[in-house]
Amino acid sequence: MSRIGKKPISIPSGVTVTLEDKTVKVNGPKGELSFETSYEVEVEVKDNEITVAKIGKTKSAPALWGTTRASIQNIVLGVSEGFKKGLELHGVGYKMAVQGKKLVLNLGYSHPIEVQIPEGLTISIEANIMSVEGIDKQKVGQFAAEIRAFRKVEPYKGKGFRYVGETFIKKEGKRAVVSE
């Protein structure tokens, strides 16, 4: 039984939710998003709350119940507040810059890496911290993960991309053995 699926989603002021067949459309101050629900769950909107109920009898129905509720919650939060991921870049000579709709990264390779910024996301860079912002939680997280994959944190010196607030354990390097 899903504990997440039981919780109703409160609709903030300024956000409108409409249901069309199995599609939930959410419109807010930051934009509009929609979500296609499964035939195994039923979504209902009343009194500034969204409730999700499972109607299917299959094994996947309870999983879809909680997942659908979480996805709708993320859409409602996205159109009202938005999502933000921060990436820190550490390393001598490593640079990042936004040029139009492209992100240019100099990460110690023989060539700069140019990445197209997806539609609906905004990138801002201050010193060595990059902020990825948008209304779609999946897009924000996926783009941040793709950028981080270009140069993950190296365990000996700590060079590379890490999320803001992420901790990592620095490994001890090799030691010279003293022979007696």
Residue 39 is encoded by which pair of tokens? 């035939």
Number of domains in the chain: 2
Q: What is the mean pLDDT of residues 94-114?
A: 94
Same domain, 105 and 143: yes
- Confidence at residue 142, expressed as pLDDT on a 0 to 100 scale: 97
Domain-terminating residue out of 36, 55, 80: 80
Whether residues 89 and 54 share a domain: the answer is no
Indicate whether 11 belongs to any domain: yes
13 and 41 part of one domain: yes
pLDDT score of 119 more than 70? yes
* Per-residue pLDDT at 9: 93
Instruction: Report the CATH number at residue 100.
Output: 3.90.930.12
The upper half-sphere exposure of residue 173, i.e. CA atoms within 13 Å in the direction of its Cβ, equals 5
Judgement on whether residues 129 and 103 belong to the same structural domain of the protein: yes
Last residue of a domain, one of 50, 80, 110: 80
Query: Is residue 72 located within the same domain as residue 89?
Result: no
Quickly state the pLDDT bin for 1 (edges 50, 70, 90). Answer: low
Whether residue 169 lies inside any domain: the answer is no
List, in order, residues 6 or more apart from 167 with CB less than 8 Å away: none
- Residue 154 forms part of a structural domain: yes
Helix (H) or strand (E) holding 134: strand 129-134
* Residues counted in the chain: 180
Give residue 149's domain range.
83-163
In a domain, 130, yes or no: yes
The verdict on residue 148 lying in a domain is yes
Any domain includes 174: no
pLDDT of the residue at 117? 96
Give the predicted TM-score (pTM) of the model: 0.88
In the predicted model, is pLDDT for residue 58 greater than 70? Answer: yes
The string of pLDDT tens digits covering residues 148-177 is 999 999 999 999 999 999 998 999 888 877
Q: Which residue has the tokens 């979504």?
A: 43
| Predicted confidence (pLDDT) at residue 30 exceeds the cutoff of 80 | yes
Domain presence at residue 172: no
Residue pair 179/110 in contact by the 8 Å Cβ criterion: no
Within a domain: residue 12? Answer: yes
The encoded tokens of residue 142 equal 């996926």
